[in-house]
């Protein structure tokens, strides 16, 4: 029970389709290790599905809904959690979005939407959670980035590269600014993962879904994509006291992919 009685907010705790997304798996993993988990998603039904799974396993969770780009909505959720539980120990940011297109093809609205969902969302959740962590001089923040932050992945999504690089550096800034306040901040950089999101946002780059899965498996040094549970287990470690002396890290969870020259 590595998170026994910790209060954790997971933004993006639902899944965009059948199966296990990173946020959904992380919320369940946190609950299995003793945390009281608040599952937040723009899709209330998706958040409630995650809560049902947690409850069926005999653990504790509740659902909430907001758009992470809406400051007032984020603040309302965060303040409600703090009022109900008396504290917030863990903030996990999993909301992400990618749209294909380089600078020529991508329209300006899509550029701004990608940066808002990936970066502004992290900013706003931290903006409203940090005062509660500062009051207790304790807390752990885990932001989900991507290896797209540090390398070209083969996909033409310029805004996503920019957004995830920003998440990494934003996380580093948080870590150093609040290091003496008992607050840690780290990022996870998933590589090629097999989650419902890729069937929604990536599959259009291939002839069909089967070709996508085969190509992505073959591109990984281990010969297979990772799963949402790989991300969840990394998040569990970074959120736990076992990582008490780790802050400012952007951790690849990619089966070695980021170590390849190309």
Domains, in order of start, for the chain: 7-193+227-250 (3.40.50.720)
Of 157, 160, 161, 178, catalytic: 160
DSSP for 94-134?
-------B-TTTS-HHHHHHHHIIIIIHHHHHHHHHHHHHH
State the Cα–Cα distance between residues 187 and 112, nearest whole angstrom: 22
Helix ranges (H only) for 15-43 are 22-32
State the Cα–Cα distance between residues 58 and 32, nearest whole angstrom: 9
Dihedral of the CA atoms 39, 194, 112, 173 (nearest 10)? 70
Q: What is the value of pTM for the model shown?
A: 0.95
| Nearest in space to 198 (alpha carbons), one of 16, 9, 3 | 16
Per-residue pLDDT 10s for the chain (262 aa) are 899 999 999 999 999 888 999 999 999 999 999 999 999 999 999 999 999 999 999 999 999 999 999 999 999 999 999 999 999 999 999 999 999 999 999 999 999 999 999 999 999 999 999 999 999 999 999 999 999 999 999 889 999 999 999 999 999 999 999 999 999 999 999 999 999 888 888 878 888 889 999 989 999 999 999 999 999 999 999 999 999 999 999 999 999 999 886 6
At 24, phi and psi to the nearest 5?
-65, -45
Decide if 206 is catalytic: no
């Amino acid at each position: 029970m590595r998170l026994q009685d910790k209060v954790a907010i997971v933004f993006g705790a639902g899944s965009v389709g059948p199966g296990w997304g990173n946020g959904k798996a992380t919320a369940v993993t946190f609950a299995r290790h003793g945390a009281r988990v608040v599952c937040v998603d723009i899709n209330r039904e998706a958040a409630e599905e995650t809560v049902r799974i947690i409850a069926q396993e005999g653990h504790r969770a509740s659902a909430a809904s907001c758009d992470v780009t809406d400051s007032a909505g984020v603040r309302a959720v965060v303040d409600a959690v703090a009022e109900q539980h008396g504290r917030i120990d863990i903030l996990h940011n999993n909301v992400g979005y990618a749209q294909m297109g380089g600078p020529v093809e991508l329209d300006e609205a899509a550029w701004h939407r990608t940066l808002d969902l990936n970066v502004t969302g992290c900013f706003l959740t931290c903006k409203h959670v940090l005062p509660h962590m500062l009051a207790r001089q304790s807390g752990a923040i885990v932001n989900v980035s991507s290896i797209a932050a540090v390398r070209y992945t083969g996909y033409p999504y310029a805004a996503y590269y920019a957004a995830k690089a920003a998440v990494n550096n934003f996380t580093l800034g948080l870590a150093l600014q609040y290091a003496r306040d008992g607050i840690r901040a780290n990022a996870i950089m998933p590589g090629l993962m097999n989650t419902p999101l890729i069937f929604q946002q990536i599959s259009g780059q291939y002839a069909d879904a089967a070709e996508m899965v085969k190509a992505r498996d073959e591109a990984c040094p281990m010969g297979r994509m990772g799963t949402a549970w790989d991300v969840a287990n990394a998040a569990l470690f970074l959120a736990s006291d076992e990582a008490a002396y780790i802050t400012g890290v952007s951790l690849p969870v990619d089966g070695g992919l980021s170590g390849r020259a190309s």
